[in-house]
Structure 1
Amino acid sequence: MGISCEETLDCFKSDDLIGLGMEADAVRRRLHPEGVVSYTVCGRIDPRTSGESAILAEIGKAASMGASSITLCSERTETIEQMELLLRAIKSHFPSLWLHCFSAGEIQSLAQRSGLTLYDTIARLRDAGLDSIPGDVVSLDDATAGVLGETGSNGWFDVHRTAHRLGLPTTACMVFGQGETLEQRVSYLEALRGLQVQTGGFTAFSLRAFVPRAAGPRVIEEPTAVEYLKMLAISRMVLDNIANIEIDFGAQGLKVFETCLRFGGNDAGSLPIGGSAATAEQLRQVVRDAGFRPVERDLAYRTVFLN
Protein backbone atom coordinates (compact mmCIF):
# COMPACT_ATOMS: atom_id res chain seq x y z
CA MET A 1 0.00 0.00 0.00
CA GLY A 2 1.27 3.48 -0.84
CA ILE A 3 2.41 5.89 1.82
CA SER A 4 -0.17 8.13 3.50
CA CYS A 5 -0.72 11.85 2.91
CA GLU A 6 1.07 12.65 6.15
CA GLU A 7 4.00 10.43 5.25
CA THR A 8 4.15 11.99 1.79
CA LEU A 9 4.37 15.49 3.25
CA ASP A 10 7.11 14.30 5.61
CA CYS A 11 9.03 12.94 2.60
CA PHE A 12 8.80 16.30 0.84
CA LYS A 13 10.22 18.00 3.92
CA SER A 14 12.99 15.43 4.39
CA ASP A 15 16.62 16.14 3.50
CA ASP A 16 17.46 12.43 3.26
CA LEU A 17 17.50 12.15 -0.53
CA ILE A 18 19.43 8.85 -0.53
CA GLY A 19 17.00 7.34 1.96
CA LEU A 20 14.04 8.35 -0.20
CA GLY A 21 15.74 6.84 -3.22
CA MET A 22 16.32 3.55 -1.41
CA GLU A 23 12.67 3.35 -0.35
CA ALA A 24 11.49 4.08 -3.90
CA ASP A 25 13.95 1.56 -5.34
CA ALA A 26 12.51 -1.10 -3.02
CA VAL A 27 9.04 -0.45 -4.48
CA ARG A 28 10.46 -0.61 -8.00
CA ARG A 29 12.19 -3.93 -7.27
CA ARG A 30 8.98 -5.38 -5.82
CA LEU A 31 6.98 -4.40 -8.91
CA HIS A 32 9.72 -5.20 -11.46
CA PRO A 33 11.89 -7.99 -10.06
CA GLU A 34 12.97 -8.97 -13.58
CA GLY A 35 15.36 -6.00 -13.66
CA VAL A 36 14.36 -4.46 -17.00
CA VAL A 37 14.01 -0.85 -18.12
CA SER A 38 11.60 -0.23 -20.96
CA TYR A 39 11.26 2.38 -23.69
CA THR A 40 9.13 2.76 -26.80
CA VAL A 41 9.49 4.06 -30.34
CA CYS A 42 6.38 6.08 -31.05
CA GLY A 43 5.42 8.16 -34.06
CA ARG A 44 3.75 11.52 -33.40
CA ILE A 45 1.63 12.72 -36.28
CA ASP A 46 1.09 16.44 -36.84
CA PRO A 47 -2.68 17.06 -36.68
CA ARG A 48 -2.29 19.85 -39.23
CA THR A 49 -1.29 17.31 -41.88
CA SER A 50 -3.92 17.80 -44.57
CA GLY A 51 -6.03 14.91 -45.75
CA GLU A 52 -6.35 11.25 -44.86
CA SER A 53 -3.86 10.12 -47.50
CA ALA A 54 -1.17 12.48 -46.19
CA ILE A 55 -1.74 11.30 -42.61
CA LEU A 56 -1.53 7.66 -43.69
CA ALA A 57 1.68 8.41 -45.57
CA GLU A 58 3.21 9.97 -42.44
CA ILE A 59 2.16 6.98 -40.36
CA GLY A 60 3.61 4.60 -42.95
CA LYS A 61 6.91 6.45 -42.80
CA ALA A 62 6.96 6.25 -38.99
CA ALA A 63 6.14 2.53 -39.07
CA SER A 64 8.95 1.87 -41.58
CA MET A 65 11.35 3.58 -39.16
CA GLY A 66 10.41 1.27 -36.30
CA ALA A 67 7.40 2.87 -34.63
CA SER A 68 5.17 0.35 -32.86
CA SER A 69 2.70 2.99 -31.68
CA ILE A 70 1.21 6.23 -32.98
CA THR A 71 -0.04 9.30 -31.15
CA LEU A 72 -2.53 11.54 -32.89
CA CYS A 73 -4.29 14.77 -31.92
CA SER A 74 -7.76 16.03 -32.71
CA GLU A 75 -8.29 19.36 -34.44
CA ARG A 76 -10.80 21.75 -32.91
CA THR A 77 -13.11 21.57 -35.93
CA GLU A 78 -13.34 17.81 -36.42
CA THR A 79 -16.48 15.80 -35.73
CA ILE A 80 -16.80 12.38 -34.17
CA GLU A 81 -17.68 10.97 -37.60
CA GLN A 82 -14.45 12.34 -39.10
CA MET A 83 -12.35 10.89 -36.30
CA GLU A 84 -14.05 7.50 -36.62
CA LEU A 85 -13.29 7.39 -40.33
CA LEU A 86 -9.65 8.33 -39.73
CA LEU A 87 -9.12 5.77 -36.97
CA ARG A 88 -10.70 3.01 -39.06
CA ALA A 89 -8.52 3.94 -42.03
CA ILE A 90 -5.36 3.80 -39.89
CA LYS A 91 -6.30 0.42 -38.45
CA SER A 92 -7.17 -0.90 -41.89
CA HIS A 93 -3.75 0.04 -43.30
CA PHE A 94 -1.69 -0.59 -40.13
CA PRO A 95 -3.55 -3.18 -38.01
CA SER A 96 -0.56 -3.89 -35.75
CA LEU A 97 0.03 -0.27 -34.69
CA TRP A 98 -1.16 0.76 -31.23
CA LEU A 99 -3.15 4.02 -31.38
CA HIS A 100 -2.49 6.15 -28.29
CA CYS A 101 -4.44 9.28 -29.18
CA PHE A 102 -6.32 12.39 -28.04
CA SER A 103 -5.88 14.31 -24.80
CA ALA A 104 -8.64 14.58 -22.22
CA GLY A 105 -9.26 18.16 -23.32
CA GLU A 106 -9.53 17.12 -26.97
CA ILE A 107 -12.00 14.37 -26.13
CA GLN A 108 -14.12 16.79 -24.08
CA SER A 109 -14.12 19.26 -26.96
CA LEU A 110 -15.00 16.54 -29.45
CA ALA A 111 -17.90 15.40 -27.26
CA GLN A 112 -19.25 18.95 -27.00
CA ARG A 113 -19.00 19.58 -30.75
CA SER A 114 -20.74 16.28 -31.47
CA GLY A 115 -23.47 16.68 -28.85
CA LEU A 116 -22.50 13.42 -27.16
CA THR A 117 -21.72 12.31 -23.65
CA LEU A 118 -18.13 11.48 -22.72
CA TYR A 119 -19.12 7.83 -22.47
CA ASP A 120 -20.59 7.68 -25.97
CA THR A 121 -17.71 9.69 -27.46
CA ILE A 122 -15.01 7.45 -26.01
CA ALA A 123 -16.98 4.29 -26.82
CA ARG A 124 -17.25 5.31 -30.48
CA LEU A 125 -13.54 6.18 -30.67
CA ARG A 126 -12.68 2.83 -29.07
CA ASP A 127 -14.89 0.92 -31.49
CA ALA A 128 -13.23 2.76 -34.40
CA GLY A 129 -9.75 1.68 -33.33
CA LEU A 130 -8.52 3.82 -30.43
CA ASP A 131 -6.36 1.67 -28.13
CA SER A 132 -5.48 4.02 -25.26
CA ILE A 133 -5.52 7.67 -24.13
CA PRO A 134 -2.40 9.67 -23.15
CA GLY A 135 -2.11 11.55 -19.89
CA ASP A 136 -1.80 15.15 -20.96
CA VAL A 137 -0.90 17.88 -18.47
CA VAL A 138 -3.52 18.64 -15.82
CA SER A 139 -3.40 21.68 -13.54
CA LEU A 140 -2.47 20.85 -9.97
CA ASP A 141 -4.80 23.67 -8.92
CA ASP A 142 -7.65 21.30 -9.76
CA ALA A 143 -6.29 18.45 -7.68
CA THR A 144 -8.53 19.20 -4.71
CA ALA A 145 -11.64 20.05 -6.74
CA GLY A 146 -13.71 16.91 -6.21
CA VAL A 147 -11.66 14.85 -8.63
CA LEU A 148 -12.70 11.48 -7.23
CA GLY A 149 -16.46 11.99 -7.34
CA GLU A 150 -18.49 10.53 -10.18
CA THR A 151 -19.58 14.08 -11.07
CA GLY A 152 -16.38 15.77 -9.96
CA SER A 153 -15.52 19.15 -11.38
CA ASN A 154 -12.24 18.05 -12.90
CA GLY A 155 -12.82 17.04 -16.51
CA TRP A 156 -9.43 15.33 -16.82
CA PHE A 157 -10.35 12.75 -14.22
CA ASP A 158 -13.84 12.33 -15.70
CA VAL A 159 -12.35 11.43 -19.11
CA HIS A 160 -9.88 8.93 -17.68
CA ARG A 161 -12.45 7.37 -15.34
CA THR A 162 -14.85 6.94 -18.26
CA ALA A 163 -12.14 5.45 -20.48
CA HIS A 164 -11.31 2.92 -17.78
CA ARG A 165 -14.99 1.96 -17.48
CA LEU A 166 -14.95 1.26 -21.21
CA GLY A 167 -11.84 -0.91 -20.96
CA LEU A 168 -9.44 1.63 -22.48
CA PRO A 169 -6.14 1.95 -20.61
CA THR A 170 -4.68 5.43 -20.10
CA THR A 171 -1.53 7.04 -18.76
CA ALA A 172 -1.20 9.78 -16.15
CA CYS A 173 1.13 12.76 -16.15
CA MET A 174 2.34 15.31 -13.63
CA VAL A 175 4.24 18.52 -14.33
CA PHE A 176 5.66 19.96 -11.13
CA GLY A 177 7.55 23.11 -10.28
CA GLN A 178 4.98 25.67 -11.43
CA GLY A 179 4.68 27.30 -8.03
CA GLU A 180 2.20 24.79 -6.64
CA THR A 181 2.17 23.96 -2.93
CA LEU A 182 3.35 20.68 -1.47
CA GLU A 183 -0.24 20.03 -0.41
CA GLN A 184 -1.37 20.33 -4.02
CA ARG A 185 1.25 17.83 -5.12
CA VAL A 186 0.12 15.41 -2.42
CA SER A 187 -3.56 15.88 -3.32
CA TYR A 188 -2.92 15.19 -6.99
CA LEU A 189 -0.89 12.06 -6.33
CA GLU A 190 -3.55 10.83 -3.92
CA ALA A 191 -6.26 11.51 -6.50
CA LEU A 192 -4.38 9.43 -9.08
CA ARG A 193 -3.89 6.65 -6.57
CA GLY A 194 -7.56 6.75 -5.62
CA LEU A 195 -8.75 6.49 -9.21
CA GLN A 196 -6.37 3.59 -9.78
CA VAL A 197 -7.90 1.84 -6.77
CA GLN A 198 -11.34 2.30 -8.33
CA THR A 199 -10.52 1.31 -11.91
CA GLY A 200 -7.01 -0.12 -12.30
CA GLY A 201 -6.88 1.59 -15.68
CA PHE A 202 -3.59 3.53 -15.53
CA THR A 203 -0.68 1.73 -17.17
CA ALA A 204 1.95 4.34 -16.33
CA PHE A 205 2.69 7.65 -14.63
CA SER A 206 4.98 10.18 -16.32
CA LEU A 207 6.83 12.82 -14.28
CA ARG A 208 7.98 16.04 -15.91
CA ALA A 209 9.65 19.14 -14.54
CA PHE A 210 8.16 22.50 -15.52
CA VAL A 211 10.24 24.42 -18.04
CA PRO A 212 9.60 28.22 -17.94
CA ARG A 213 8.94 29.49 -21.46
CA ALA A 214 8.98 33.24 -20.91
CA ALA A 215 9.81 35.75 -18.23
CA GLY A 216 6.88 37.41 -16.52
CA PRO A 217 5.90 39.15 -13.33
CA ARG A 218 6.15 35.84 -11.49
CA VAL A 219 9.62 34.35 -11.88
CA ILE A 220 9.66 30.54 -11.61
CA GLU A 221 12.92 28.64 -11.77
CA GLU A 222 13.10 25.24 -13.41
CA PRO A 223 13.31 22.39 -10.85
CA THR A 224 16.82 21.05 -10.30
CA ALA A 225 17.91 17.47 -10.92
CA VAL A 226 17.84 16.86 -7.16
CA GLU A 227 14.25 18.12 -6.98
CA TYR A 228 13.32 15.84 -9.87
CA LEU A 229 14.87 12.82 -8.15
CA LYS A 230 13.03 13.60 -4.94
CA MET A 231 9.70 14.05 -6.72
CA LEU A 232 10.27 10.83 -8.65
CA ALA A 233 11.01 8.83 -5.51
CA ILE A 234 7.96 10.17 -3.70
CA SER A 235 5.73 9.49 -6.71
CA ARG A 236 6.93 5.87 -6.82
CA MET A 237 6.16 5.41 -3.12
CA VAL A 238 2.67 6.92 -3.35
CA LEU A 239 1.69 5.32 -6.67
CA ASP A 240 2.69 1.76 -5.88
CA ASN A 241 -0.55 0.62 -7.53
CA ILE A 242 0.52 2.02 -10.94
CA ALA A 243 2.98 -0.42 -12.45
CA ASN A 244 5.23 1.87 -14.45
CA ILE A 245 6.92 5.19 -13.67
CA GLU A 246 8.19 7.00 -16.75
CA ILE A 247 11.30 9.18 -16.49
CA ASP A 248 11.50 12.32 -18.61
CA PHE A 249 14.60 11.01 -20.37
CA GLY A 250 14.68 13.69 -23.04
CA ALA A 251 14.68 16.61 -20.60
CA GLN A 252 16.77 15.12 -17.80
CA GLY A 253 19.64 13.71 -19.86
CA LEU A 254 21.59 10.46 -19.61
CA LYS A 255 23.40 11.10 -16.31
CA VAL A 256 20.29 12.03 -14.36
CA PHE A 257 18.36 9.28 -16.13
CA GLU A 258 20.80 6.66 -14.84
CA THR A 259 20.34 7.89 -11.28
CA CYS A 260 16.56 7.91 -11.74
CA LEU A 261 16.70 4.15 -12.31
CA ARG A 262 17.60 3.83 -8.61
CA PHE A 263 14.95 6.33 -7.51
CA GLY A 264 11.90 4.38 -8.61
CA GLY A 265 11.80 4.92 -12.38
CA ASN A 266 11.59 1.90 -14.67
CA ASP A 267 10.73 3.40 -18.06
CA ALA A 268 12.43 5.89 -20.40
CA GLY A 269 9.32 6.91 -22.32
CA SER A 270 9.40 7.48 -26.08
CA LEU A 271 12.42 7.75 -28.33
CA PRO A 272 11.70 10.14 -31.21
CA ILE A 273 11.30 8.81 -34.72
CA GLY A 274 14.18 10.04 -36.82
CA GLY A 275 16.56 10.40 -33.89
CA SER A 276 20.04 9.04 -34.40
CA ALA A 277 20.68 5.35 -33.83
CA ALA A 278 23.49 6.39 -31.51
CA THR A 279 20.96 8.01 -29.18
CA ALA A 280 18.98 4.79 -28.86
CA GLU A 281 22.14 2.77 -28.32
CA GLN A 282 23.42 5.28 -25.76
CA LEU A 283 20.19 4.84 -23.83
CA ARG A 284 20.49 1.07 -23.94
CA GLN A 285 24.12 1.24 -22.84
CA VAL A 286 23.28 3.45 -19.87
CA VAL A 287 20.58 0.97 -18.88
CA ARG A 288 23.07 -1.90 -19.08
CA ASP A 289 25.72 0.03 -17.17
CA ALA A 290 23.18 0.63 -14.40
CA GLY A 291 22.66 -3.11 -14.08
CA PHE A 292 19.38 -3.48 -16.00
CA ARG A 293 18.27 -4.97 -19.33
CA PRO A 294 16.78 -2.56 -21.90
CA VAL A 295 13.46 -3.65 -23.40
CA GLU A 296 11.66 -2.00 -26.29
CA ARG A 297 7.89 -1.98 -25.72
CA ASP A 298 4.75 -0.65 -27.30
CA LEU A 299 2.31 1.67 -25.54
CA ALA A 300 0.45 -1.32 -24.09
CA TYR A 301 3.73 -2.23 -22.34
CA ARG A 302 4.04 -5.36 -24.45
CA THR A 303 7.63 -6.33 -25.25
CA VAL A 304 8.59 -5.60 -28.84
CA PHE A 305 12.29 -6.37 -28.57
CA LEU A 306 14.58 -7.47 -25.74
CA ASN A 307 17.90 -5.67 -26.34
Structure 2
Amino acid sequence: FTAIKKHRPDLHVKALTPVEYHYIFKKAKISYADGMKLMMDSGLQSIPGGGAEIFHPEVRELIAKDKCTADQWLAIHEEWHNLGRRSNATMLYGHIEKFWHRVDHMERLRQLQDRTGGFQTFIPLKFRNQDNQMSNVPESTVTEDLRNYAISRIYLDNFDHIKAYWAMISRNTAQLSLNFGVDDIDGTLDDTTKIYAMAGAEEQHPGMSTQQLVELIKQVRRVPIERDTLYNVVTNYQDYQFEDEVKPKFYKLPVLN
Protein backbone atom coordinates (compact mmCIF):
# COMPACT_ATOMS: atom_id res chain seq x y z
CA PHE A 1 0.00 0.00 0.00
CA THR A 2 2.87 2.34 0.80
CA ALA A 3 4.41 1.79 -2.62
CA ILE A 4 1.07 2.40 -4.34
CA LYS A 5 0.48 5.67 -2.50
CA LYS A 6 4.04 6.77 -3.18
CA HIS A 7 3.65 6.08 -6.89
CA ARG A 8 0.09 7.42 -7.21
CA PRO A 9 -0.86 9.52 -4.16
CA ASP A 10 -4.06 10.58 -5.94
CA LEU A 11 -5.49 7.05 -5.94
CA HIS A 12 -7.90 5.82 -3.26
CA VAL A 13 -6.71 2.46 -1.99
CA LYS A 14 -9.59 0.06 -1.30
CA ALA A 15 -8.11 -3.39 -1.04
CA LEU A 16 -8.35 -6.93 0.34
CA THR A 17 -11.14 -8.44 2.42
CA PRO A 18 -11.23 -9.68 6.03
CA VAL A 19 -10.45 -13.15 4.66
CA GLU A 20 -7.00 -11.94 3.59
CA TYR A 21 -6.48 -9.67 6.60
CA HIS A 22 -7.30 -12.50 9.02
CA TYR A 23 -4.66 -14.67 7.36
CA ILE A 24 -2.06 -11.88 7.27
CA PHE A 25 -2.56 -10.94 10.92
CA LYS A 26 -2.53 -14.58 12.01
CA LYS A 27 0.80 -15.15 10.23
CA ALA A 28 2.20 -11.91 11.67
CA LYS A 29 0.86 -12.78 15.16
CA ILE A 30 -0.74 -9.39 15.68
CA SER A 31 -4.24 -8.38 16.76
CA TYR A 32 -6.91 -7.17 14.40
CA ALA A 33 -6.74 -3.72 15.99
CA ASP A 34 -2.97 -3.44 15.54
CA GLY A 35 -3.15 -4.93 12.07
CA MET A 36 -5.79 -2.57 10.75
CA LYS A 37 -3.96 0.42 12.26
CA LEU A 38 -0.83 -0.73 10.44
CA MET A 39 -2.76 -1.06 7.18
CA MET A 40 -4.20 2.44 7.56
CA ASP A 41 -0.78 3.92 8.30
CA SER A 42 0.54 2.17 5.18
CA GLY A 43 -2.01 3.84 2.91
CA LEU A 44 -5.17 1.72 3.04
CA GLN A 45 -8.23 3.97 2.88
CA SER A 46 -11.25 1.66 2.72
CA ILE A 47 -12.04 -2.04 2.44
CA PRO A 48 -14.50 -3.91 0.23
CA GLY A 49 -17.21 -6.22 1.48
CA GLY A 50 -16.09 -9.52 0.00
CA GLY A 51 -15.79 -12.79 1.87
CA ALA A 52 -19.00 -12.38 3.86
CA GLU A 53 -20.88 -15.08 1.89
CA ILE A 54 -23.51 -16.24 4.45
CA PHE A 55 -22.67 -15.72 8.12
CA HIS A 56 -24.60 -18.56 9.74
CA PRO A 57 -22.21 -21.45 10.47
CA GLU A 58 -24.49 -24.23 9.24
CA VAL A 59 -24.25 -22.73 5.75
CA ARG A 60 -20.83 -21.10 5.96
CA GLU A 61 -19.13 -24.36 6.92
CA LEU A 62 -20.52 -25.96 3.77
CA ILE A 63 -19.76 -23.24 1.22
CA ALA A 64 -16.80 -21.33 2.73
CA LYS A 65 -15.21 -23.51 5.38
CA ASP A 66 -11.69 -22.32 4.52
CA LYS A 67 -12.53 -18.66 5.05
CA CYS A 68 -12.56 -16.73 8.31
CA THR A 69 -15.64 -17.11 10.50
CA ALA A 70 -18.49 -14.62 10.55
CA ASP A 71 -17.36 -13.27 13.92
CA GLN A 72 -13.84 -12.76 12.59
CA TRP A 73 -15.14 -11.03 9.46
CA LEU A 74 -17.28 -8.68 11.52
CA ALA A 75 -14.51 -8.04 14.06
CA ILE A 76 -12.08 -6.87 11.38
CA HIS A 77 -14.65 -4.47 9.95
CA GLU A 78 -15.40 -3.19 13.46
CA GLU A 79 -11.73 -2.46 14.14
CA TRP A 80 -11.56 -0.64 10.81
CA HIS A 81 -14.63 1.41 11.65
CA ASN A 82 -13.14 2.25 15.05
CA LEU A 83 -10.34 3.99 13.16
CA GLY A 84 -12.93 6.24 11.53
CA ARG A 85 -12.75 4.45 8.19
CA ARG A 86 -15.46 3.08 5.89
CA SER A 87 -16.17 -0.30 4.34
CA ASN A 88 -18.81 -2.26 2.43
CA ALA A 89 -20.65 -5.51 3.14
CA THR A 90 -21.90 -8.29 0.89
CA MET A 91 -24.20 -11.32 1.08
CA LEU A 92 -24.08 -14.25 -1.34
CA TYR A 93 -27.66 -15.42 -1.77
CA GLY A 94 -29.69 -17.85 -3.85
CA HIS A 95 -27.84 -21.14 -3.23
CA ILE A 96 -28.41 -23.56 -0.33
CA GLU A 97 -29.32 -20.97 2.30
CA LYS A 98 -32.83 -20.44 3.62
CA PHE A 99 -34.59 -17.10 3.85
CA TRP A 100 -33.96 -16.96 7.60
CA HIS A 101 -30.22 -17.32 6.97
CA ARG A 102 -30.39 -14.11 4.94
CA VAL A 103 -32.24 -12.36 7.76
CA ASP A 104 -29.65 -13.59 10.26
CA HIS A 105 -26.89 -12.27 7.99
CA MET A 106 -28.48 -8.84 7.67
CA GLU A 107 -29.24 -8.68 11.40
CA ARG A 108 -25.57 -9.15 12.28
CA LEU A 109 -24.63 -6.39 9.85
CA ARG A 110 -27.35 -4.15 11.21
CA GLN A 111 -26.14 -4.60 14.79
CA LEU A 112 -22.55 -3.74 13.85
CA GLN A 113 -23.73 -0.73 11.85
CA ASP A 114 -25.72 0.48 14.88
CA ARG A 115 -22.50 0.39 16.90
CA THR A 116 -20.08 1.92 14.40
CA GLY A 117 -21.90 3.50 11.43
CA GLY A 118 -18.91 2.52 9.32
CA PHE A 119 -20.60 0.62 6.51
CA GLN A 120 -21.35 2.57 3.34
CA THR A 121 -23.00 0.00 1.11
CA PHE A 122 -24.72 -3.37 1.28
CA ILE A 123 -24.25 -5.52 -1.82
CA PRO A 124 -26.41 -8.62 -2.31
CA LEU A 125 -24.54 -10.94 -4.66
CA LYS A 126 -26.57 -13.38 -6.75
CA PHE A 127 -25.21 -16.93 -6.73
CA ARG A 128 -24.30 -18.24 -10.17
CA ASN A 129 -24.15 -22.00 -10.70
CA GLN A 130 -21.56 -22.12 -13.48
CA ASP A 131 -18.06 -23.53 -13.02
CA ASN A 132 -18.40 -24.42 -9.34
CA GLN A 133 -19.29 -27.39 -7.13
CA MET A 134 -22.89 -26.26 -6.70
CA SER A 135 -23.81 -26.37 -10.37
CA ASN A 136 -26.79 -28.55 -9.50
CA VAL A 137 -28.38 -25.73 -7.48
CA PRO A 138 -30.88 -23.69 -9.54
CA GLU A 139 -30.35 -19.94 -9.60
CA SER A 140 -32.80 -17.48 -8.08
CA THR A 141 -35.40 -15.89 -10.34
CA VAL A 142 -35.44 -12.21 -11.27
CA THR A 143 -38.54 -11.82 -9.10
CA GLU A 144 -36.67 -13.19 -6.09
CA ASP A 145 -33.67 -10.99 -6.87
CA LEU A 146 -35.84 -7.88 -6.82
CA ARG A 147 -37.59 -8.94 -3.61
CA ASN A 148 -34.20 -9.52 -2.02
CA TYR A 149 -33.06 -6.01 -2.93
CA ALA A 150 -36.28 -4.54 -1.54
CA ILE A 151 -36.03 -6.45 1.74
CA SER A 152 -32.37 -5.44 2.06
CA ARG A 153 -33.33 -1.79 1.66
CA ILE A 154 -36.07 -2.05 4.29
CA TYR A 155 -34.14 -4.15 6.81
CA LEU A 156 -30.86 -2.28 6.54
CA ASP A 157 -32.26 1.21 6.81
CA ASN A 158 -29.08 2.23 8.64
CA PHE A 159 -27.02 1.61 5.49
CA ASP A 160 -26.84 4.58 3.15
CA HIS A 161 -26.67 2.56 -0.06
CA ILE A 162 -27.80 -0.72 -1.63
CA LYS A 163 -25.77 -1.81 -4.64
CA ALA A 164 -26.41 -4.16 -7.56
CA TYR A 165 -23.79 -4.99 -10.19
CA TRP A 166 -25.41 -4.49 -13.58
CA ALA A 167 -22.91 -6.82 -15.23
CA MET A 168 -23.88 -9.65 -12.89
CA ILE A 169 -27.67 -9.32 -13.15
CA SER A 170 -28.09 -7.80 -16.66
CA ARG A 171 -28.86 -4.26 -17.72
CA ASN A 172 -32.62 -4.77 -17.71
CA THR A 173 -32.70 -6.22 -14.20
CA ALA A 174 -30.40 -3.43 -13.02
CA GLN A 175 -32.92 -0.90 -14.31
CA LEU A 176 -35.73 -2.72 -12.48
CA SER A 177 -33.67 -2.86 -9.28
CA LEU A 178 -33.66 0.94 -9.12
CA ASN A 179 -37.36 0.64 -8.27
CA PHE A 180 -36.69 -1.95 -5.57
CA GLY A 181 -34.34 -0.13 -3.21
CA VAL A 182 -31.10 -0.11 -5.20
CA ASP A 183 -29.39 3.26 -5.68
CA ASP A 184 -26.04 2.09 -7.11
CA ILE A 185 -25.66 -0.20 -10.14
CA ASP A 186 -21.85 0.07 -10.42
CA GLY A 187 -20.04 1.94 -13.15
CA THR A 188 -18.44 1.67 -16.55
CA LEU A 189 -16.10 -1.24 -16.98
CA ASP A 190 -14.13 -3.29 -19.45
CA ASP A 191 -13.89 -6.88 -18.26
CA THR A 192 -10.30 -7.44 -19.33
CA THR A 193 -9.76 -9.81 -16.38
CA LYS A 194 -12.70 -11.98 -17.55
CA ILE A 195 -13.78 -12.24 -13.91
CA TYR A 196 -17.45 -11.64 -14.73
CA ALA A 197 -17.42 -14.30 -17.42
CA MET A 198 -15.74 -16.80 -15.11
CA ALA A 199 -18.28 -16.03 -12.39
CA GLY A 200 -21.15 -16.88 -14.73
CA ALA A 201 -22.41 -13.31 -14.96
CA GLU A 202 -25.47 -12.45 -17.02
CA GLU A 203 -23.24 -10.33 -19.26
CA GLN A 204 -20.39 -12.54 -20.42
CA HIS A 205 -18.46 -9.69 -22.04
CA PRO A 206 -19.61 -6.60 -20.12
CA GLY A 207 -18.64 -3.15 -21.18
CA MET A 208 -20.47 0.14 -21.04
CA SER A 209 -19.48 3.71 -21.79
CA THR A 210 -20.37 6.63 -19.54
CA GLN A 211 -22.99 7.81 -22.02
CA GLN A 212 -24.58 4.37 -22.23
CA LEU A 213 -24.75 4.08 -18.45
CA VAL A 214 -26.24 7.55 -18.10
CA GLU A 215 -28.90 6.74 -20.69
CA LEU A 216 -29.67 3.43 -18.96
CA ILE A 217 -30.40 5.26 -15.71
CA LYS A 218 -32.35 8.08 -17.33
CA GLN A 219 -34.62 5.58 -19.08
CA VAL A 220 -36.12 4.69 -15.69
CA ARG A 221 -36.33 8.33 -14.62
CA ARG A 222 -33.50 8.31 -12.12
CA VAL A 223 -30.73 10.88 -11.75
CA PRO A 224 -27.35 9.55 -12.92
CA ILE A 225 -24.56 10.59 -10.56
CA GLU A 226 -20.88 9.79 -10.94
CA ARG A 227 -19.33 9.31 -7.50
CA ASP A 228 -16.00 8.50 -5.94
CA THR A 229 -15.25 5.60 -3.60
CA LEU A 230 -16.69 7.42 -0.59
CA TYR A 231 -19.84 8.50 -2.47
CA ASN A 232 -18.81 12.10 -2.92
CA VAL A 233 -20.43 13.55 -6.05
CA VAL A 234 -18.05 13.85 -9.00
CA THR A 235 -20.51 14.70 -11.79
CA ASN A 236 -24.28 15.09 -11.93
CA TYR A 237 -25.37 13.91 -15.38
CA GLN A 238 -29.02 14.92 -15.10
CA ASP A 239 -28.69 17.81 -17.56
CA TYR A 240 -25.32 16.86 -19.01
CA GLN A 241 -24.97 17.11 -22.77
CA PHE A 242 -22.59 14.64 -24.39
CA GLU A 243 -20.71 15.79 -27.43
CA ASP A 244 -21.95 14.22 -30.63
CA GLU A 245 -19.73 11.52 -31.96
CA VAL A 246 -17.40 12.85 -34.60
CA LYS A 247 -18.54 11.47 -37.92
CA PRO A 248 -15.86 10.45 -40.40
CA LYS A 249 -15.43 12.82 -43.30
CA PHE A 250 -15.52 11.47 -46.81
CA TYR A 251 -14.00 13.34 -49.73
CA LYS A 252 -14.84 13.01 -53.40
CA LEU A 253 -11.94 11.81 -55.40
CA PRO A 254 -11.49 12.60 -59.09
CA VAL A 255 -12.21 9.76 -61.45
CA LEU A 256 -9.15 8.88 -63.45
CA ASN A 257 -9.64 7.27 -66.84
Q: Secondary structure at the match of 1:269?
A: coil
Report the equivalent of 1:286. 216
Tell me, yes or no, if the aligned pair for 1:119 and 1:162 is still in contact at 8 Å.
yes
Q: Pick the aligned partner of 1:133 from 47, 62, 68.
A: 47
Tell me, yes or no, if the aligned pair for 2:52 and 2:70 is still in contact at 8 Å.
no
Q: Pick the aligned partner of 1:186 from 103, 108, 111.
A: 103
Question: Judging changes above 3 Å, is the alpha-carbon distance between structure 1 residues 305 and 144 closer, same or farther for their aligned structure 2 residues?
Answer: farther
CA distance in 2, matches of 1:153, 1:231: 21
Q: Does 1:161 align with 2:78?
A: yes
Report the equivalent of 1:195. 112
Question: Judging changes above 3 Å, is the alpha-carbon distance between structure 1 residues 217 and 273 closer, same or farther for their aligned structure 2 residues?
Answer: closer
Q: Does 1:220 align with 2:150?
A: no
Report the equivalent of 1:170. 87
Question: Judging changes above 3 Å, is the alpha-carbon distance between structure 1 residues 91 and 290 closer, same or farther for their aligned structure 2 residues?
Answer: same
Report the equivalent of 2:23. 109
What residue identity is the alignment partner of 2:161? N
Tell me, yes or no, if the aligned pair for 1:141 and 1:180 is still in contact at 8 Å.
no
CA distance in 1, matches of 2:104, 2:172: 30
Tell me, yes or no, if the aligned pair for 2:188 and 2:207 is still in contact at 8 Å.
no
Q: Does 1:246 align with 2:163?
A: yes
Report the equivalent of 1:119. 33
What residue identity is the alignment partner of 2:33? Y
What is the Cα deviation at residue 125 of structure 1?
0.7
What is the Cα deviation at residue 158 of structure 1?
0.9
Aligned-pair identity (%): 28
Question: Judging changes above 3 Å, is the alpha-carbon distance between structure 1 residues 211 and 217 closer, same or farther for their aligned structure 2 residues?
Answer: closer
Q: Pick the aligned partner of 1:305 from 232, 235, 255.
A: 235
Tell me, yes or no, if the aligned pair for 1:254 and 1:283 is still in contact at 8 Å.
no
From the two aligned structures, give the one with the greater helix fraction: 1
Task: For residues 160-203 of structure 1, give each alpha carbon's deviation from its aligned partner in whole angstroms, at most 9, with x where no partner exists.
Answer: 11111111211000110111011111111111111100000001
What residue identity is the alignment partner of 1:193? R
TM norm structure 2: 0.77
Report the equivalent of 1:268. 185
What is the Cα deviation at residue 217 of structure 1?
7.9
Q: Secondary structure at the match of 1:95?
A: coil
Question: Judging changes above 3 Å, is the alpha-carbon distance between structure 1 residues 215 and 198 closer, same or farther for their aligned structure 2 residues?
Answer: closer
CA distance in 1, matches of 2:214, 2:27: 44
Q: Pick the aligned partner of 1:231 from 148, 154, 163.
A: 148
CA distance in 2, matches of 1:280, 1:206: 22
Question: Judging changes above 3 Å, is the alpha-carbon distance between structure 1 residues 155 and 302 closer, same or farther for their aligned structure 2 residues?
Answer: same
TM norm structure 1: 0.65
What residue identity is the alignment partner of 2:29? G
Give unmatched runs, 5+ long, in structure 1: 1-86, 146-151
CA distance in 2, matches of 1:221, 1:190: 26
Give unmatched runs, 5+ long, in structure 2: 60-68, 193-205, 238-257
Tell me how many residue pairs correspond in the alignment.
215
Tell me, yes or no, if the aligned pair for 1:143 and 1:184 is still in contact at 8 Å.
no
Tell me, yes or no, if the aligned pair for 1:133 and 1:171 is still in contact at 8 Å.
yes
What is the Cα deviation at residue 157 of structure 1?
0.6
What is the Cα deviation at residue 117 of structure 1?
0.7
Q: Secondary structure at the match of 2:47?
A: coil
Tell me, yes or no, if the aligned pair for 1:233 and 1:263 is still in contact at 8 Å.
yes
Q: Secondary structure at the match of 1:211?
A: coil
Question: Judging changes above 3 Å, is the alpha-carbon distance between structure 1 residues 165 and 288 closer, same or farther for their aligned structure 2 residues?
Answer: same
**Higher Cα Rg, which structure:** 2
Q: Which runs of 4+ in 1 moved over 6 A?
A: 274-277
